[in-house]
Chains A and B, each alone.
Chain A
């Protein structure tokens, strides 16, 4: 079902949705930084041509999340979990890359082993209005990561910016619930033709020559390669890549306590942090940047594929855009793909 939403009706459309749903969408904080937040008024929504800085994972897996509160009562402790069935919500504006990342995170948090109630409750409550990427950046490489600027995986409704209006594709049962909104009209053949053109242009622009063929096997044989010394030396350990990466999911758990009452909170963490795996004895299995950068890359292109069958990178390019040391994961992959591992001095 293909519908059309005129941009002049956009705020009214959102206002109509907000009667039944909480709305999460990108907003602009000063200085060009945009993040996903819960919306109070539709005028806050900032659907810009580029991807928001912070990825959509934050809506399901917040940066800081209280898991439960506790209070000591004599020798016992009363524990109150914060898990709840969430109010219905809409996630508006994530690009195909961020959405693909969310479905990768589903296999971590919403798989059959130990379902993460906090994540699952939010996921179940959410209808996704995804957005096509009509102006991919030069740092984008989603097409090399089994994705593309118009991939619809993970969207319940899919928006394509036609200029004066959005083309709205209704893709799932959840999406159908929104179909009846009074501002959605039927799209005409011009709209469909324009959308097709935009899709073709964007897909062409996003083509890259980066190949992942055989990378898992190659990495298996490269574990002890001096290649990682180079990668590790360039990295300054600022961890911005893990912070902005839509598929990174490492977290820390801490108790925040005041006089016997407090909360157990989980926070985003980074495997690139020097203390990340340090044990109480002082022993650290990953003592230098060499081991830690190796861990991150192996996790994305070897360990996660071994466990789940998919590459854990979506080609959003945020790490490329924001790394202060100018590390480019595409260059790193290219170097890995040149590796002919017969002996340790083959490069």
Chain B
């Protein structure tokens, strides 16, 4: 019987800080055992519990695409005991990874439709996985028009600048990157994500929207999506909660009868509206 509480060992191949405030660090992990590499398949939107023995575990969205050869990328916000330890871990060290967990984005629903991705701050991690996956040559024709609106508070806090640059140069997707406050080197757009969304005014016809960001951004973005006629069943988001087991047993992360770790973390607005309003 498979023990769902045991992790697989993965080595830190690369570790680098993403942002100028040094609060976000990306780890690129590689599998240590061939059979683990073969068995690990995931879909964008899923997460893993990263295990630092002696410190604990932290649930983190997978930032890499499933098509990225045998490695997993996680971008970690330094917030508490485990994430701080993940900020100090060195290249060459080993950590435990439990996963993939959660339900992932409903890519099968997106197929054949347009996709609007709205991201803010460091919630962008699993959105990177989603976009990188959909842009792979074998997947690109699966969805029609792809629009990305991504914003951070300042230019130095934008994640995945290399990818953003590559995507901006493609002619098969529209990319709008914005910051709340620019600096002397910033030549791009300045404006809050909800306002930039309103300005960009993507069509809601035949379009699914995926929104991930800090609560304040979501609170102001949802009404803008409504105003653009996006129906609740075509708006998806990914939620976070304090987690321990990650597999729907310890009882901790539920919203109503659904567990964010097992039935989520991806939910449609239609689903969320039916659940008790909690935090």
Chain B residues near A260: list those with CB within 8 A: 54
Given A75-B92, A255-B56, A285 and B252 touching (CB < 8 A)?
no
The verdict on B121 contacting chain A, using a C-beta distance below 8 Å, is: no
Q: Which of A68, A113, A276 contacts B5 (CB 8 A)?
A: A68
The verdict on A13 contacting chain B, using a C-beta distance below 8 Å, is: no
Q: Are B252 and A116 in contact (CB under 8 A)?
A: no
Given A75-B94, A115-B1, A115-B4, A250 and B53 touching (CB < 8 A)?
no
Give 27 pairs: A residue, B residue, CB < 8 Å, sorted on A. A70-B53, A76-B9, A77-B94, A79-B96, A83-B3, A109-B249, A114-B248, A115-B2, A116-B4, A117-B1, A224-B277, A249-B251, A250-B250, A251-B244, A251-B245, A253-B5, A253-B57, A253-B245, A255-B55, A255-B56, A264-B5, A277-B253, A285-B279, A287-B279, A295-B254, A303-B254, A307-B257
List A293-315 residues whose CB lies under 8 Å from chain B. 295, 298-299, 302-304, 306-307
The verdict on B269 contacting chain A, using a C-beta distance below 8 Å, is: no
Measured in the bound complex, the distance between the Cα atoms of B70 and A223 in whole Å is 46
Measured in the bound complex, the distance between the Cα atoms of B256 and A116 in whole Å is 23
The verdict on A181 contacting chain B, using a C-beta distance below 8 Å, is: no
The closest CB in chain A to the CB of B55 belongs to A255
**Which A residues form the contact surface with B (CB < 8 A)?**
67-68, 70, 72, 75-77, 79, 81, 83, 108-109, 113-117, 120, 223-224, 249-255, 257, 260, 262, 264, 266, 269, 271, 276-281, 283-287, 291, 295, 298-299, 302-304, 306-307
Closest CB of chain B to A13's CB: distance in Å?
A: 34
The verdict on B34 contacting chain A, using a C-beta distance below 8 Å, is: no
Chain B residues near A262: list those with CB within 8 A: 53-54
Q: Are B252 and A277 in contact (CB under 8 A)?
A: yes
Chain A residues near B277: list those with CB within 8 A: 223-224
How many chain-B residues does the 8 Å CB contact rule pick out? 42
Q: Which of B1, B80, B96, B249 contacts A77 (CB 8 A)?
A: B96
List B212-250 residues whose CB lies under 8 Å from chain A. 240-242, 244-245, 247-250
Can you list, as one digit per residue, whether each of B200-213 has a CB less than 8 Å from chain A (1) or not (0)?
00000000000000
Chain B residues near A279: list those with CB within 8 A: 240-242
Chain A residues near B251: list those with CB within 8 A: 249-251, 269, 271, 299
Chain A residues near B262: list those with CB within 8 A: 113
The verdict on B93 contacting chain A, using a C-beta distance below 8 Å, is: yes
Chain B residues near A224: list those with CB within 8 A: 277
The closest CB in chain A to the CB of B79 belongs to A280
Measured in the bound complex, the distance between the Cα atoms of B252 and A251 in whole Å is 8
The verdict on B6 contacting chain A, using a C-beta distance below 8 Å, is: yes
Given A116-B249, A280-B79, A223 and B5 touching (CB < 8 A)?
no
Chain B residues near A264: list those with CB within 8 A: 5, 53
Q: Give the secondary structure class of A's interface.
A: mixed
Measured in the bound complex, the distance between the Cα atoms of B3 and A146 in whole Å is 33
Can you list, as one digit per residue, whether each of B77-88 has a CB less than 8 Å from chain A (1) or not (0)?
001100100000
Chain A residues near B276: list those with CB within 8 A: 223, 298
List B50-96 residues whose CB lies under 8 Å from chain A. 53-57, 79-80, 83, 92-94, 96
The verdict on B183 contacting chain A, using a C-beta distance below 8 Å, is: no
* Pairs A-B, 3 closest by C-beta atoms: A285-B279, A280-B80, A257-B54
Given A79-B96, A255-B53, A291-B278, A113 and B247 touching (CB < 8 A)?
yes
Chain A residues near B83: list those with CB within 8 A: 280
Q: Are A81 and B256 in contact (CB under 8 A)?
A: no
Measured in the bound complex, the distance between the Cα atoms of B252 and A285 in whole Å is 11
Q: Are B257 and A114 in contact (CB under 8 A)?
A: no
Q: Are B249 and A114 in contact (CB under 8 A)?
A: yes
Q: Are B279 and A284 in contact (CB under 8 A)?
A: yes
Q: Are A306 and B257 in contact (CB under 8 A)?
A: yes
Q: Are B242 and A81 in contact (CB under 8 A)?
A: no
The closest CB in chain B to the CB of A121 belongs to B1
Chain B residues near A298: list those with CB within 8 A: 256, 276
Measured in the bound complex, the distance between the Cα atoms of B247 and A250 in whole Å is 12
Q: Which of A113, A257, A280, A286 contacts B279 (CB 8 A)?
A: A286
Chain B residues near A283: list those with CB within 8 A: 279
Closest CB of chain B to A220's CB: distance in Å?
A: 9
Q: Are A77 and B5 in contact (CB under 8 A)?
A: no
Closest CB of chain A to B274's CB: distance in Å?
A: 9
Closest CB of chain B to A81's CB: distance in Å?
A: 6
Q: Which of A79, A277, A278 contacts B6 (CB 8 A)?
A: A79
Chain B residues near A68: list those with CB within 8 A: 5-6
Chain A residues near B248: list those with CB within 8 A: 113-114
The closest CB in chain A to the CB of B81 belongs to A280
Chain B residues near A67: list those with CB within 8 A: 5
Chain A residues near B244: list those with CB within 8 A: 251-253
The closest CB in chain B to the CB of A302 belongs to B257
Measured in the bound complex, the distance between the Cα atoms of B248 and A278 in whole Å is 17
Measured in the bound complex, the distance between the Cα atoms of B180 and A45 in whole Å is 70
Closest CB of chain B to A119's CB: distance in Å?
A: 9
Measured in the bound complex, the distance between the Cα atoms of B277 and A295 in whole Å is 12
Q: Which of A83, A113, A252 contacts B250 (CB 8 A)?
A: A252
Given A250-B250, A250-B252, A271-B251, A72 and B1 touching (CB < 8 A)?
no
Chain A residues near B96: list those with CB within 8 A: 77, 79
Measured in the bound complex, the distance between the Cα atoms of B257 and A48 in whole Å is 38
Chain A residues near B240: list those with CB within 8 A: 279
Measured in the bound complex, the distance between the Cα atoms of B277 and A224 in whole Å is 8
